[in-house]
Structure 1
Amino acid sequence: MTAPFNFGQLKFLKALTEALFHEAEMMISADQVVANVCDLFEKIGGTKLDEIRLSLTATELVLGGPFFTENDVADRVERLTDRLKNSQIDLFQDMARLRGIIYACYYGHWQPGLTPGDQGANAANPVHRQIGFTLPQFRQRGDYDVPLAPVHGREIDPAHILDADSVGQEYDVVVIGSGAGGGVAARNIAAQGYKVLIVEAGPFYPSPAITHHELDMIARLYKHGALQTSTNRDFVVFQGRCVGGSSTINNGICLRVNEAGRTHPDAPDVLAKWASIGAPIDAAAFHASYDAVQARLGIAPIEPRSGRHNGPHLINGWTSYAATSSNPRDRRAVADWFAKNFGPPNTVNACAYCGYCNSGCAYGRRMGIAQTYLPEACRDFGARILPDTKAERIVWQTAYDGRREAEAVKLVLPDGSKRLVRARVGVVVAAGTIASSKLLDRSDIDRTGYQISLNVASPVVALMPDGVGGDAWDEDQMSSYVDCGDYLLESHFQPPMSMASLMPGWFGDHAERMRNFGRVHSAGILFPADRRGRVKDGKLEFRLDASDDLPVLRDAMATLTKVHFAAGALECYPALAKGQKVTPDMDVDAFFRDAIREQDDVTLSSSHPHGGNAINENSQHGVVDLDCRVHGTTNVLVTDASVFPSCIRVNAQWTTMAMAHYATARGDPFR
């Protein structure tokens, strides 16, 4: 493969790395960091590689062109500080996010071994040693702990995976997307006797192939290597791109909309809102779909031992904070453990809490789509999966009543060739909010990709007193939450590479915070940004409302910071572009009012894009009807989160699965 960067770009990357680690001890060389960056983008390739090349060239020019690489490190630090770290210019703030890639490629360093992801070769990984991190294979586990051993028998049979030579010319139903929406729909439709082909743009990566080499897994299992952004680069949008979709690389969080006892009583009623805007859903049937998914995935509140450090930190901190709060909303808040499809809990197959959920479960313990609905669809009902394949467009014919009827799907196969695969009965689109919108648009469906919502996330890291709280990395990544009504607070902690990319701070400050890896705890906010975005020219365009959204963002960040302090934190590091720290003696509310003037001032992300192809009984206001069938067509369904008419405000996995079940399990959806 051709090297991803030219000589000048490599030289700039090295100079940038040296500056970002100024006055910090490096356990690997700047050249090795650059090699890790190259390895990452070599695997990602495509348009994202083109974007980063352009960004490197532009950033070098902003920093002084060739003079930047020739200057001494102190001068480079000064330029970075003046032109990127402290800049209020949007373009320069976007360029500043390169720091996250450099830090990720330092702390994600992996030493090659005899096998892919060889933990043994990394027992003495110098970067891990520097921050006091221990890989799962070498952690001390007692009788109380779930063993870190693989669970067998859940994976998809490789014989059910097709390639360009084995894919047929026609099927009854073609399902586009193998994640939460596509997997559930495919199983239900196949169970009705239809011959089903499941098309997936990403690779087939069963649990035994997954490792703890973060850089490798992130590059292979995420769309654009987890570097997918909105058009303004203000939001990172995390989406899985593999068989099983995002259910393969998420934290398994399962929350229903407005679940009694687990949702703030003052939170908006999501299904009532849908009904008010033309999307009345049968609530009883929808909750029956939740129940069916729950039974299949073993969804239940997690065992507290799996979130033994960071999880109680948030719950205990909230209890202390709420006891002194004068806000009645806080006294009505719900603080609890997450329910998940990891396990099921309290069984021998329960989550072993290695802390690597977001780079895939190497132990087959996650009851994801690729361990449940997809194997069943293939094994019991004859469905087949075609990975590494893009659905280019739906090909139409005219039905007897004048409506459009899907006749075939044009595919770009793994070998690069194109082929029409006939769909005798129908097509299901479930490629995710952005990809489904793009496919429907390419297929001449009007008004797709509008009014997209995000559950917007941003972290706040807290430094705890030495010896307090335990190693937050030695547990489930996300275990507890607080529903505050307007937003959620969620405990979370990441392995070194991902945590480094999220950790605020520059230069020596960032290095010092990472050296305290065993002393920091972390949580994030999650707030609903309702129908603020659209897909334009194939990318997500999204902007928060300055009047409605930014005050919620500031309030959520301030509240979470106060909760950390109530739990005993010495100082907090919110995910601000400038990397400021907050201490208990500060006016926290005033700090965030001043620090967050616009969305560029804070690192924002989302794993839950939804909407774009909304349900509505009126074809002028939505793309699909109340049965999730595309308006004006006879046989095309959309069964992913893109059909949600408004923001659901909680993690979207379970609701997406329930929607797919609702659309495909209440009778034959094609009759």
Structure 2
Amino acid sequence: MAPFNFGQLKFLKALTEALFHGAEMAISADQVVANVTDLFAKVGGTKLDEIRLSLTLTEVALGPLFALVSVETRVERIRDRMQNTSFDLFQDMGRLRGIIYACYYGHWQPGGEDENAANPVHAQIGFTLPKFRHRGASDIATPIPPVTGREIDPAHVIDAAGLEQEYDVIVVGSGAGGAIAAHNVAAQGYKVLIVEAGPFYPSPRITHHELDMIAQLYKHGALQTSTNRDFVVFQGRCVGGSSTINNGICLRVNEAGRTHPDAPDVLAKWSAMGAPVDAAAFHAAYDAVQARLGIAKIEPRSGRHNGPHLLNGWAAYAATSSDPKDRRAVADWFAKNFGPPNTSTACGYCGYCNSGCAYGRRLGMAQTYLPDACRDHGARIIAGTKADKILWQHAIDGRREAEAVKLVLPDGSKTLVRARVGVVVAAGTIASSKLLDRSDIDGTGKRVSLNVASPVVALMPDNVGGDAWDEDQMSSYVDCGDFLLESHFQPPMSMASLMPGWFDEHQARMKRYGRVHSAGILFPADRRGHVDGGKLKFRLDENEDLPVLRRAMATLTKVHFAAGALECYPALAKGQVVTPGMDVDAFFDDAIREADDVTLSSSHPHGGNAINENPAYGIVDPDCRVHGTTNVLVTDASVFPSCIRVNAQWTTMAMAQYATGRGDPFR
């Protein structure tokens, strides 16, 4: 069934024509609407229902006969009621612009890279697909060869017909927490079933068609938001979880020489909160994961534009700063699980990390722990299947004991699968909280933390040395103590959705795609949210979080100028420009009055089912076992008692290793 009715399609076309007023379109407004339609047909579900409602409300907000008035009148209404408004509901509606721009710059001709060598939108902004780029000193196109032999054997991904009635252990979730737990439990000799709600997408199926990959591999097509729509929350929904579509960043909490020396000691804070973690054992868990994933500092060649831009800009900025914390800041290249670096299988820096690695070079869960668990220890994966509820019986000591999990199969039918030994929950902060709540575990989904991100794009004088997009998406960082700065760059669709600006101004910025450099801020919002009704409610604290947000955005803007930027485009709803000579601090104090004034996102939700020795203050004990149960573990980031401040991937993996890799967790 078509996702939109005739009236909605007519409105989408009228909105597209207005948003591109004064701009040169390389494809028609009808084609953009077709791209929007295709995206939401694939996403479906509740997110499609939300976008339908949003279209209806936006059409009402933009006044009568919007599709029939002149384009100039439409533009005037959009400026008044979406771009320059301070009314929260209208600001939320303004986020539709990002969808329209994404579906223009994410245009893909039918077929693969060959059929898109002359993609008209790519040509308009001077972008070249990876297959046709000149790499190194070569003067001819040098495609990136795929790495083979790492993928999960398709025979190990079963369908409903292959599902047995009972297993020893059922693991819910196949991402950073679930895959490692499944591997370690299977290595103990248990018969393991891994349940994944998303599809199985091995590397050879992944393409550079961003719109398609985002729809297929992300929860809600990367359009999941907090209930107040202040935050976009990115989470993977596929075999391998977010490790399939992330930037591979690997930072330990409080790592000497890699994180700011003044940053709060995360493990000490947890201990003081009643959540003691054996620091030596936890770092041994980091070490074990590092050895399997080949985690190492990336090769500078893979981040040759935005990476040094941030590092050099920081050096110039810090040299003039009077803040002693700036002089103690750590500026370095990221360590990643890509490759490993400096080998023949190292990252090919195509720049498409967030839509999946088509070359098998990312050592994510689907290239390491999952195939190991299946091939070496007999585990099996069922994809496209939701864990609906854990069913209980009572143990001799009175505690609850999981005896089965109710699954919703791909065709919508339900079945019970017995768990003879136990259950591991590792579906991510939001989904794990929902599953435990449906399973009658009280108090789940509380005190959720986010690492909050927002970009600042900078226009440089020229693109001497190559196009800024020809590299790894994220390569360098600066840890400033209470926030981080991270270099990044995105392929056309993703860059268009985060590029500030409206109408022809937005296109003017995109046409200078090779000349803009980009970086983002990342700051911890500690225990500000909770999962309610299956959705994340999250609100920044006006007195604590907003000042950090303003200071971080101002600092990054100054770093861009120190690196030679001509002007900066912070991700503000109104699309303002910052130029050298302005009072940058005063500008952000005025521009950011509330969270709605700026585009905010997070890929790192954690907390909700915190570790605590006392059941009154946490869901799991220090061994990650659900309080009051004998055989249910939670091994994902939802057990973190507070915000860890840095990227959560490696710490989530370490937590799963810590919980399941030090012996049999069910004995």
TM range, normalised to the smaller chain? over 0.9
**1:249 equivalent in structure 2:** 245
Matched residue of 2:67: which SS?
helix
Matches within 5 A, 1:204-215: 204-215=200-211
Aligned residues: 665
Matched residue of 2:381: which SS?
strand
1:383 alignment partner AA: A
Could you tell me the percent identity over the aligned residues?
A: 83
Matches within 5 A, 1:552-631: 552-631=548-627
The correspondence for 1:86, drawn from 78, 84, 87, is 84
The correspondence for 2:129, drawn from 135, 144, 151, is 135
The correspondence for 2:180, drawn from 174, 184, 191, is 184
Matched residue of 1:654: which SS?
helix
Output the CA distance in 2 between the equivalents of 1:478 and 1:526. Answer: 13
Matched residue of 1:363: which SS?
coil
**1:481 equivalent in structure 2:** 477
Give how far 1:147 is off. Answer: 5.9
User: Residue deviations 1:296-341, cap 9 Å, x none?
Assistant: 0000000000001110000000000000111111000000000000
**1:14 equivalent in structure 2:** 13
Matched residue of 2:160: which SS?
coil
Output the CA distance in 1 between the equivalents of 2:157 and 2:525. Answer: 38
**1:389 equivalent in structure 2:** 385
**1:379 equivalent in structure 2:** 375
Give how far 1:229 is off. Answer: 0.2
Give how far 1:190 is off. Answer: 0.2
Give how far 1:415 is off. Answer: 2.0
Q: Cα RMSD between the aligned structures?
A: 0.9
Contact kept? 1:146, 1:350, Cα under 8 Å: no
**2:493 equivalent in structure 1:** 497
Output the CA distance in 2 between the equivalents of 1:128 and 1:484. Answer: 36
User: Residue deviations 1:417-460, cap 9 Å, x none?
Assistant: 11000000000000000000000000000000000000000000
Output the CA distance in 2 between the equivalents of 1:469 and 1:122. Answer: 25
Contact kept? 1:146, 1:348, Cα under 8 Å: no
Output the CA distance in 1 between the equivalents of 2:143 and 2:617. Answer: 52
Give how far 1:666 is off. Answer: 0.9
Give how far 1:146 is off. Answer: 9.0
User: Residue deviations 1:484-537, cap 9 Å, x none?
Assistant: 000000000000000000000000110100000010000000000000000011
Give how far 1:467 is off. Answer: 3.2
User: Residue deviations 1:264-287, cap 9 Å, x none?
Assistant: 111010001000100010000000
1:76 paired to 2:74: yes
Matches within 5 A, 1:386-425: 386-425=382-421
**1:268 equivalent in structure 2:** 264
The correspondence for 2:109, drawn from 92, 95, 111, is 111
Contact kept? 1:146, 1:352, Cα under 8 Å: no
Output the CA distance in 1 between the equivalents of 2:298 and 2:572. Answer: 31
The correspondence for 1:278, drawn from 253, 274, 277, is 274
2:514 alignment partner AA: G
Contact kept? 1:504, 1:579, Cα under 8 Å: yes
2:36 alignment partner AA: V
Contact kept? 2:434, 2:534, Cα under 8 Å: yes
Contact kept? 2:133, 2:143, Cα under 8 Å: no
Contact kept? 1:301, 1:340, Cα under 8 Å: yes
Matches within 5 A, 1:16-415: 16-65=15-64, 67-113=65-111, 118-142=112-136, 148-415=144-411
Give how far 1:143 is off. Answer: 5.4
Output the CA distance in 2 between the equivalents of 1:466 and 1:509. Answer: 19
**1:455 equivalent in structure 2:** 451
The correspondence for 1:544, drawn from 540, 546, 549, is 540
Contact kept? 2:131, 2:142, Cα under 8 Å: no
User: Residue deviations 1:614-668, cap 9 Å, x none?
Assistant: 0000000000000000000000000000000000000000000000000001111
Output the CA distance in 2 between the equivalents of 1:175 and 1:273. Answer: 29
Output the CA distance in 1 between the equivalents of 2:647 and 2:492. Answer: 24
2:418 alignment partner AA: R
Output the CA distance in 1 between the equivalents of 2:604 and 2:136. Answer: 36
2:54 alignment partner AA: S
2:372 alignment partner AA: E
Output the CA distance in 2 between the equivalents of 1:184 and 1:419. Answer: 26
1:104 alignment partner AA: A
Matched residue of 2:213: which SS?
helix
Output the CA distance in 2 between the equivalents of 1:362 and 1:277. Answer: 43
Unpaired runs of at least 5, structure 2: none
1:552 alignment partner AA: V
Matched residue of 2:607: which SS?
strand
Matched residue of 2:158: which SS?
coil
**TM-score, normalising length: structure 2:** 0.99
Contact kept? 1:395, 1:443, Cα under 8 Å: yes
2:331 alignment partner AA: A
Give how far 1:470 is off. Answer: 3.0
Distance 1:133 1:355, change over 3 A: same
Output the CA distance in 2 between the equivalents of 1:299 and 1:134. Answer: 29
The correspondence for 1:426, drawn from 422, 426, 429, is 422
Matched residue of 2:161: which SS?
coil
Give how far 1:469 is off. Answer: 5.4
Output the CA distance in 1 between the equivalents of 2:210 and 2:531. Answer: 29
Output the CA distance in 1 between the equivalents of 2:648 and 2:598. Answer: 23
Contact kept? 1:147, 1:352, Cα under 8 Å: no
User: Residue deviations 1:215-258, cap 9 Å, x none?
Assistant: 00000000000000000001000000000000000000000000
Unpaired runs of at least 5, structure 1: none
Contact kept? 1:313, 1:469, Cα under 8 Å: no
User: Residue deviations 1:102-150, cap 9 Å, x none?
Assistant: 000000000002xxxx101111100000000000011012358996110
Output the CA distance in 1 between the equivalents of 2:392 and 2:435. Answer: 13
**2:525 equivalent in structure 1:** 529
Distance 1:147 1:72, change over 3 A: closer
1:285 alignment partner AA: A
Matched residue of 1:324: which SS?
coil
**TM-score, normalising length: structure 1:** 0.98
Contact kept? 1:640, 1:659, Cα under 8 Å: yes
Matched residue of 2:573: which SS?
coil
Contact kept? 2:429, 2:607, Cα under 8 Å: yes
